[in-house]
Structure 1
Amino acid sequence: MASKIPDSHNFDEQFLTCPVCMLHFRDPRVLPCLHTFCRECLQEWATKQQPLECPTCRTQVSLPDKGVDGLRTNFYVNNLLDFAAVKKGAGPGVACQVCEGKEEGARSWCVQCAVLLCESCTNTHRRFPAMKGHQIVTQENLEASEGVPGSFQRKAFCPKHEDQVLTFYCEPCQTLVCVACTVVNHSRGDKRNPVEIGSVAERKKRDLQKLLAKVEPREKDVRDTLNEVDRESSQLPTSADAAIEQATGYFDQLIALLQDRKKEVVQEIVSRRQEVGKCLETQKEAMEFELAGLTSASEFCKQALEHGSDVHVIEVEGQARQRVDELLTTPSDLRARPSQVVFSEGTAVAEFRDGVARAGRVQVRNTGKVDVFKCSVEVKPAVVDFSNVSLLRTIDEMGRLCAVAKDDVTATLTDPSGQAVPTQLQEKGRGLWEISYSPEVTGNHGLEVKVNGGSVAGSPFEVRVQSRDTPVLTIGREGSGEGELVCPADVAVDMDGNIAVVDNGNNRVQIFDAKTGQSLRSFPVDGESPWGIDLDSNGQFIVTFDNNLFSTGNQAIRVYSREGKLTKTLKPDCLWNPCGVAVLQDGRIVVTDYTQQCCFLLQPDGSLIRDIGKGQLQHPQFIAVDKSRDMLFVTDYLAHKVFVFDLEGKLKFSFGKLGQDEGQLYHPTGITVDPAGNIVVVNERDRRLQVFGPDGTYLRTVTTVKGRCPQRIALTPDNHIAVACYMGDCVELYRYK
């Protein structure tokens, strides 16, 4: 059941009803997705499903080791159930649930015992020492209350000491305990710190208020959008019917045009048949007239030859010649005549079929609300021969992201010579599009983006394509002002995707926007020569300080809040010259110490767990952690190698040797691990940035860093490698993949 808080003046049966059994909750338990169900219902549900899915939202959930019994009880729902029962049963004539009506009717309710009490039993109840802390709510308070009284809450008792109320909270254990527990199992010490729950609850309330502040805007947006979807759903039949009507009219027009053309062609065939018939008849008459003349001349000549005398032949020969010459001088044409009417296709049936297939297009539109002038394109730095992306946001008239049909979005990239570069368009979410392309030449390219046929404001956009050896972004320059750096030693990526830089020469940490390189904020550090930096799971900055000749006694690790305030200082006795640092998911810290030629694994409070690499490392520099494999990757500056250890300190393998060929290392410094487990290493001396497989096999060289003396490196969320260039007074970003 959703954790909806009912109105203080009204709560209905739906809030108190289990969505599975449709009865009042019995021992309500809360799933990690914050939906509530009866304990028995969940146990039955769990036997039917593996893995378990929430019956309401279908989210897969992992049960605790104790199963359903290990889930938290929804005390708030229990309180409401109690209150509902009391309101229903506190009327006149209701018997006391202790003396069962031997005295007068029930007058009050014990919140902890969940029973109705008469006045006599109430007084007796209050006299028992074990029940002195129980909350008694009188009938007058119940009748006067329109909602649930703030004091109407069961007290929580310790599972180990059933007569003791939970009044303390042990923060290291994250466990509620009673007074007895603070003496027996949770006495104050290095690993135990019980504090009164009041102060912890106030802090947790503030945290919940912050969570509420984060959730409420999104909740409002989703609710507004849901209402809009409902409205659009109600309008969908109208738009679909209109589309059907338009399609029907369109194709009826095409059919009518074909029918008209059919009539025209048939009528033309009939007309041509008549014309050809007349022509053939005329030619026939001419040929019959000529044939009669030829037959007469032929017969005359034959008779003269067969029956005439010599005198007769001499006399008629001249006359016969004249007649035959006349007949043969103007003969009729025996070949050129129209004899057939045929039909030929102006457009082949196959071609017409293809044309018909393109006739009419069905689209899903956002009811035409997209505002092309409010749409925006974020052009990211591009590198030749890499897959690069720009982001398009389609915005509606209200300034909100809105969905549009893919056919309504076009993106065209042209190189400096005007040649088109193939692009791909992929929708990454409602109103968010990724335009990807792989340019083959460097220089300024033009990106034309259109939505619904209109150009997005600012289009065409300039896409500057650089060579892979050129940093796509350079952050900082020498100086002590805002955005300036002196000897940056280390970089890390914070929880917002920004780049945190250890500004060694200015004794500060400076935060930069990873997309623009703009300085966002900075904070000073307490101590000299800050060197290493990483972030814990809460977004706090963990900074190490190098104990060099000029900063004696400074071997410290300091923790700063996200706002840059110092929260604690750790000074482990084992540290002499801390350098690189990495924070594990559980808060443990790994730090290199090049003077002692090893790494130290520390508890979150700075206490030593174990040393790692003693007798194997010569000059450890920086550390990367592969959290999926629980492995540490350490660069050794003097050994020209990378050593790989597990968290128990066992050496798994090492790779690298001195040299400047592919796969060789030359004073390695910065190191990081990508999501696929590949290892990225930069050399200080020859500045090559190389990639190795999870087993240390050489894969490729990304680039040669331009800035001098590269130190720590970090991989950004958008697949760039940030390199701290110590002597270059800058941080350079290179395209990784």
Structure 2
Amino acid sequence: MADSKPLSDPTEEDALSLIDCGICLAEMEKPKALPCLHSFCLKCLKRVAHPPGSFICPLCQEKIPLPPGGVDGFRDNFFINQMKERKAIFTIGQIMMPCASCGTTDRQVAARCVDCNGFLCQQCVHLHETIEPLKVHTVFTLDELRSGTVDMSKVMKEECCQKHKGQVLRWYCKTCGTPICRDCTVMEHRHPEHDYVTIESATEGQLAEIKVLVANCKGLSHQIDEAITKTQQVKDNLKKTAVEAKKQLDEAKECYLKALEKNYKSNTNKLAEIQTKQSEKIDDATKSLQNLQSKLINAMDVANQVIQTGSKHDVVSNYTTLCKTLTQLQEVRPTGISKGLSLVKFKASQKGNVDNMNLGTISNGKWVVEKEIGKEGQGKIRNGLGVAVDPNTTDILIADYTDKTIKVFDSDGNYKRVLQDNLQTPHDVAVSSDGFHFITERKAYVKVFSPDGTYLKQFPATSPDGKSSHTDGSELCGLTIDSYGNLLVGSSNNYISKHRQDGTHISTIKTNIRPWFLNTMSKGTLLWSGNNSTNVEIVDYKGNLLHTIKVPKDAKSWQTTGICCSDDGIIYVSSYQGGIYIFTEDGEYLGCVTTDVTQAEGIALIKDDRLVVVQNGNPAKIFSYVE
């Protein structure tokens, strides 16, 4: 597990560490800043990035698109150049530097001249003190610079425009989000097409916004550390249980060695296969968390240096990228993985006639019925369709089409309350991270309820040609919420409409089948099933088909309905005629969870090891995963 450092106030040592290139490990020469906030030498980037297209950042593994001009088109990192000069202040005496005035390297550097924009030897310092034109220059001794009492942003040179040589960047184009020079204001960034202000007026608000984002992100590092620790614990436990299972298997082998050698090898291979597959999933989760932690630390380091020691130009140069990155990071919540991945068991067979017996079987647990819910009383379910689990309370919400209600149960299946105001034909239900309930209705509207069950409003879906679902003959069906908190609404007219939670329409994609139920995965992919279809389609958010889940080889009947996904990338699919089956995130068939269901509709996971299945015309069932 990679080491991580706490997010604390930056030190001079932290600042100086930013000037080393992550590729050649030396001080950066002509540093270029990437959109992921990492910077590298221009020459190093040219070795790893080749136009056209994109490349992978060597530090955070983010995919970086190349600008039209190739590597040279990336923004110059003036901030790094200034940090190099600051480092020079503290290393003078260890290395010889040329005097900015006379060019000699024979005499020790003694001061820095702001107007000459460089370091001076003692002789040139004396000339500045005696020659009349040079007396007006602002000169700071090395002792003054090292004391920390001097505003270093006023000592360093002003950044110049990359397009107009010698022109200082004194303006900020609000339209393009970039600092500009005087020539830019009359050429590429002319008013009124572009709105620009002085860098001084732009800096104050931008710096305040960056500070707020940094404060909001501080708690995320601890959450990631905890998730990485728990992930490692799951892997350690897997190793421990696998060792114990292997020990038991070896003991059984000794009893039945000659007659059961073939069965022993089969079980050993299966054990290794299970451990390898589950280890890979754990490693993937760990790597993802470590990459997220690395990206967060880098963004916070850069932001804190801009806040603590950056000039106004540093603020405006980094503002757009910093705000975008920090805004995305503060919305991230590190996800755990299924504890079931740490389990693998060996079950010995009963003793008897050695010649006719196997050692036993390797497995990694099974699903059993824990409880039936909605069987009678106020919470009786007549014709259930969609189901959702509240991420805050773990309450179970089930849409009952016949009763025109949403019935709410606690995580143990005990009836709590009912939602019925303004409901006519509920199909599916979803709950946001802040507890708001969203319900699709056959009457072509999405209904919105507060966390306490109060009806708030409704809004229609939008078809690909811009029509509202209540006018295009649609019936709304599947519903889910993606990782950004947006609603994805399925229509019987074969499209999925994307909305913000206030109902604002974002986009619409076409589907090949009626999206009866929907779900999303952590990889940014979308799944849909159709109640009259035998397939489940896995697509990206633009509707491009990635994988197709087809009829499992051991399914007696197959008509896809409900879908849900676990944190570790396992897809659960219910078949209306009976059966819950599991697949990888790439659509590879893994096995059958249970066939103990009738007319299965919506399904949802309650944490890692419990599954609720809605049965049309029958009570819902809660399944538990046991060793």
TM-score exceeds 0.5: no
- TM-score normalised by the chain length of structure 2: 0.45
Which fold has the larger relative contact order, with Cα–Cα distance below 8 Å and residues 6 or more apart in sequence?
A: 2
Report the TM-score when normalising by structure 1. 0.39
